[in-house]
Amino acid sequence: MRLEGLGAGAMLIDAPATWPALTLSSEIADLPVVDEWVTATSALLRLKTGGRLSLDRARRTAHYSVPRPLSVDELVHPYLAPAAAMFAHWEGRLAFHAGAFVAADGVWAVAGTREAGKSTTLARLAARGVEVFADDVVILDGLRAFAGPRAVDLRPDTAHRLAVGRALGVVGSRPRWRIELPPCRAELPFRGWMFLEWTERPQARRLRASECLGRLAETLTVRLDPLSPRDLLDLAALPAWSVGRQRHWDRLDDHVDHLLELARQCS
């Protein structure tokens, strides 16, 4: 999407003129908690940090009512994620809770359960000069992937361990250290999936399409029936790996090398 109402910023890349626009706005308001709802034309979502997000499909607007002011960078990341995912759903695209990197001129998603090490892996890939495509949400139109905001956010202990990023304080629901990413290409072919897990030894197992389909369903950001179920089946047929990583910081580079090699094997 082309984001309007923000002005220029380092967190954004130049968007092609053919991309649909979305206008973001925010206000300080202490509104009561309400039930979420989604229709074919609008949505009202609760924000984890307090407040609400009102979306209007026809007007292509996302309005945040929150207890405190939001900076432009906060609106772009992480507050943009639910709006981007909902509009993607309305447009027949699929949004996944995952990060992504580029290898062999295609995009590979990095997914996993909470605290599986997704952002840590992406931060190390970025430090190695690998193009990181998205940190928090991966949006696909068929087999095309779209770039996310140009940042990877880490927890303080991870940032200290890797000696990267700058402290932002509490953003969203937790303290964050931010790694700023260079500009990247706006869209690229999507190649496949890397599902991270903690294991005693490094390992990788190629997933069957049926296994991948189940994991994709769990990774969807919007838990509503996809407008194009065939797209989900096509994505499940792509190369997908369950990748085991050891809980040792000195093996992080080995883990990153393993991901890159798996991607190269499938190119």
Q: Which residues of 78-112 are buried (b: 16+ CB within 10 A; e: fewer)?
A: bbbbbbbbbbbbbeebbbbbbbbbbbeebbbbbbb
Is the same domain home to 213 and 250?
Answer: yes
Q: How many C-beta neighbours within 10 Å does residue 248 have?
A: 10
Higher-confidence residue of 166 and 171: namely 166
Q: Is residue 39's pLDDT more than 90?
A: yes
pLDDT of 12 > 90? The answer is no
76 and 99 together in one domain: no
Torsion of CA 122, 92, 113, 3, to 10 degrees: 40
| All residues at 6 or more sequence positions from 263 whose CB lies less than 8 Å from its CB, including other chains | 103, 104, 106, 108, 191, 192, 194
Q: Give the per-residue pLDDT at 248.
A: 83
- Token pair for residue 6? 């923000």
Indicate the residue among 49, 70, 91 that finishes a domain.
91
Domain count for the chain = 2
Q: Do 57 and 128 lie in a common domain? A: no
Based on C-alpha coordinates, what's the Rg of the chain? 18
164 & 178 share domain:
yes
203 CB-near residues (< 8 Å, 6+ apart): 243, 244
Same domain, 116 and 227: yes
Same domain, 261 and 145: yes
Instruction: Answer whether 98's CB lies under 8 Å from 139's CB.
Output: no
User: Are 84 and 95 contacting, i.e. CB atoms less than 8 angstroms apart?
Assistant: yes
d(CA 181, CA 8): 16
Percent of the chain clearing pLDDT 90 (strictly above) = 62
Residues 159 and 27 placed together within one structural domain of the fold: no
Buried b (16+ CB within 10 A) or exposed e, 136-157: bbbbbbeeebbbbbbbbbbeee
pLDDT at residue 206, rounded to an integer: 95
Q: Tell me which of 235 and 67 has the higher pLDDT.
A: 235
Q: Which of 91, 126, 160 is the last residue of a domain?
A: 91
Q: Based on the domain organization, do 117 and 78 belong to the same domain? A: no
* Spatial contact of 135 and 123, defined as CB atoms under 8 Å apart: no
- Structural domain harbouring 213: 95-265
Same domain, 70 and 120: no
Same domain, 135 and 256: yes
Cis peptide, bond prior to residue 78, ω within 30 of zero: yes
- d(Cα 196, Cα 244) in Å, to the nearest integer? 6
Q: Which of 188, 191, 166, 193 is nearest to 177 (CA)?
A: 166
From 42, 75, 91, give the residue that closes a domain: 91
Give the pLDDT confidence score for residue 9 in this predicted structure. Answer: 66
pLDDT in tens, 169-196: 777 667 888 999 999 999 999 999 999 9
150 and 255 inside one domain: yes
pTM metric for this prediction: 0.92
**Domain co-membership, 83 together with 101:** no
